[in-house]
Amino acid sequence: MNYKVFISFAFATLMLCSCKNSKPEAAQNADTQSEVTGKEASTANESLTGHFVCDDDGSSLTISAREDGRYSIVINLFRLTHLDNGVGGDAEGGIDFTATDANGEPIGGRITFADDTATLTFIHSSWSLIEEGAKWEFRRK
């Protein structure tokens, strides 16, 4: 099997597994809880969506809700790269996302939130300009 395809598949599998609800009591109570209305769903996403900017260099991060319950992620890292096809899902502490780097390879990471700050951490990158573990901080605008 092609090594790059294997790595992409493994990363995608890990991303999907990390989105699973790990609280058994939540799964047991799912049948008794009422469904979230469309208005409540958009409110729930509101704290994770928006436009964020890095004060140091003007890099930006834009997160918007999609109709399928996931997030569209656009990342512009000043003089480094522009990722405009990111897709993310809820994860413990934030959003896990995947995108395609400038070389056409998969790249991904996690976005965490604290107050009005979003921290972007790349977890998977085969591109030499962005190392795994690289972080950027953005403030909500």
Q: Which domain holds residue 23?
A: 3-31+49-140
Out of 44-58, 68-82, 94-108, 126-140, least confident range: 44-58
Q: What is the pLDDT of residues 74-127, one digit of tens each?
A: 999 999 999 999 999 999 889 999 999 988 999 999 999 999 999 999 999 998
For residue 132, tell me if it sits in a domain: yes
For residue 99, tell me if it sits in a domain: yes
Question: Residue 88 in contact with residue 96, Cβ under 8 Å?
Answer: yes
94: its two tokens: 């934030």
Domain count along the chain: 1
User: CB under 8 Å to 97, separation ≥6 — which residues?
Assistant: 71, 73, 86, 87, 88, 89, 108, 109, 110, 111
For residue 40, tell me if it sits in a domain: no
77-110: burial string, b at 16+ Cβ within 10 Å, e else:
beeebebeebbbbbbeebbbbbbebeeeebbbbb
For residue 43, tell me if it sits in a domain: no
For residue 38, tell me if it sits in a domain: no
Which pTM was predicted?
0.68
For residue 44, tell me if it sits in a domain: no
